[in-house]
Amino acid sequence: MAYITHQQLLDRPGSRELAEVASNEDGDMVPYELMALTLSGGDRSAFNAEQIANADAALARIDDAVADADGVIDGYLRKAGYTLPLDPVPRLVVVWCRAIARYYLHKNRRSLESDDIIVRDYKDALRLLEQTVSGKLSLGADDDVVETGAGMPQVITGSRRMRDALRDF
């Protein structure tokens, strides 16, 4: 199960960016409209077989980047004690997956790292994953964390009080 859907990728960063970074470097770029239809599962019959094959190859590269991003996220969350895969996927994890996958897709990007938004988002995602591992950040109120240690004692409420239970001894 991927932490981000094709539709979420279509929404942001969008078909234009994905077509530009996922198209075969030696071939024609996948038309933006075709990339959008490929991501959304729409009707691609207006395009020729070669264009559709290029779009499918681009989608495979996108899916590979998402799978790699999922692996990074799972590596951190497993260390933090989460039950994997996360289901439902918290919105924050979708953001992390998008940032990491975009970074992987832009591997040949030439820009200054200090002012590159894709690098910044990637580093932010890793930093927040590290904070999750250290317990400084929660994925939300419905965290599904498996206790790895003895943990804290539990208080169970009921009608018997401790002094009543001691009378039995």
The fraction of the chain above a pLDDT of 90, given in percent, is 73
Q: Tell me the pLDDT tens digit for each residue of 140-158.
A: 745 554 444 444 444 444 4
Residue pLDDT, tens place only, 78-127: 999 999 999 999 999 999 999 999 999 998 777 667 789 999 999 999 99
- Its domain, for residue 151, covers 6-167
Question: Does residue 1 lie in a domain region?
Answer: no
Examine residue 32 and state whether it is found in any structural domain, yes or no.
Answer: yes
- Coil, helix or strand for 70? helix
pLDDT of 47 over the 60 cut: yes
**Structural domain count, the chain:** 1
CA distance 97 to 101: 6
Predicted TM-score of the model (pTM)? 0.82
Q: Is 127 helix (H, G, I), strand (E, B) or coil?
A: helix
In a domain, 17, yes or no: yes
Residue type, 103: Y
Residue 25 has pLDDT above 90, yes or no: no
